[in-house]
Structure 1
């Protein structure tokens, strides 16, 4: 039986409930209250540098079906894909670092500044069911987040079987046996993981800010409702600014 281990926490997770006031209702869901960092996806390199935000362009994710999974890749690689899909293709992933941590991650589908943002959901999640300070996101228990195509999970399972055969045991650890060297090569901050060499379908894996927690994902849309960018906020910064610790004076 395979195991999906928990990585060491890099710090304490800020309380996510603080991102949305308790007086808000589902019908009045204000995305700006869920994240004040959405501008990171549109700022120029110069503006980001001026705000002490370091950008890492880690490569393209191959979306073979266009159905995107945003999850903890170790404990939730089988998480359902987001309801909204995109055209299959290869799309660049960018990480935004602040205070020595990955503060946010984005996947870009087209150029342009979003005119509207919406909370990303998976099947069965209803925005109108949210109450008070509730919001949808994905849980992290291994200190990592990811973007990948839903079809890529089958490749992860195939790689797992390969490792089991190589070690002559069903008890493997995907992080230690597969991912660790790839992440260590990038200071444990990220990896572009290809489960099966020669097969299309890879996974953009990145450190999840403060570590384990619960993180929202957002769609940035143009005036016609076309997805321009997918954005994950790990709660490390406020107001898209890395010059001052969140909550500082």
Structure 2
């Protein structure tokens, strides 16, 4: 499942990492100046799905679930970004923050009958506590009044077949790294010339390309994760897993692979 990445495309991409797309109106998620000027009061948007059904069971609706742990993420600022790292040029974090620390990243893989293994849910885990509710992760400026239907959401765009978690500071460092790479390799392709070999290190078999990396950013103590996004390109939401007392215990991305039961 090789990410689709063209250097000519990346030069044209101008949208922000979590420039969120509303499923209600097929919007790109970009807000006009007038929208940003008005006072936006964000309400808590709850998922109709309880994701604990994935984390607590070996099968979901007859589909086998496998757990893949891809290592820890260094979170020095507590500001988290979720996006497609290969095509994003402006990293904007969610407006909730967590305690700085080092946290595990887990991928829940669905063994589908039609398409084999697919990355269904990605989870950044801040605590072993169980979440009681799942709250849509938002950026400043996103107007929840636009979400008219229960299944509407703001989701980050994927165009290279990847999603990823990282700290806001790590995103800035990764951006500096990619800029320097382009200067040193004006005719190069950062995926083909650098990242592909990193993905291959995590392949199950020698002839496979690999579906994830936990990349240490060169000349930094920070890292960035990348992993395959379910069935590929699209728009995917992130949700905070929270207790009844509003303690944040996790952040998940739903790649819409599993037919999850609603509450």
Match of 2:212 in 1: 190
TM-score (normalised: structure 2): 0.73
Match of 2:143 in 1: 126
2:89–2:175 CA contact under 8 A, matched in 1: no
1:4–1:74 CA contact under 8 A, matched in 2: no
Name the count of aligned residue pairs. 215
Q: CA RMSD, aligned part only?
A: 2.8
Which has the higher relative contact order, 1 or 2, with Cα contacts under 8 A spaced 6 or more apart? Answer: 1
Cα 1:57–1:136 shift into 2, 3 Å:
same
Structure 1 residue ranges without an equivalent (≥5)? 7-15, 19-25, 241-249
Are positions 1:227 and 2:248 aligned together? Answer: yes
Structure 2 residue ranges without an equivalent (≥5)? 1-5, 11-21, 25-41, 204-209
Match of 1:150 in 2: 168
Task: After TM superposition, give the deviation of residue 223 of structure 1 in Å.
Answer: 2.1
Cα 1:83–1:51 shift into 2, 3 Å:
same
Q: Distance in 1 between matches of 2:176 and 2:256?
A: 34
Match of 2:133 in 1: 116
Q: 1:136 aligns with which of 147, 154, 158?
A: 154
Q: 1:203 aligns with which of 208, 218, 224?
A: 224
Task: After TM superposition, give the deviation of residue 110 of structure 1 in Å.
Answer: 0.8
Are positions 1:74 and 2:95 aligned together? Answer: no
1:70–1:81 CA contact under 8 A, matched in 2: yes
Task: After TM superposition, give the deviation of residue 165 of structure 1 in Å.
Answer: 5.2
Deviant stretches of 4+, over 3 Å: 2-6, 26-30, 164-167
1:4–1:174 CA contact under 8 A, matched in 2: no
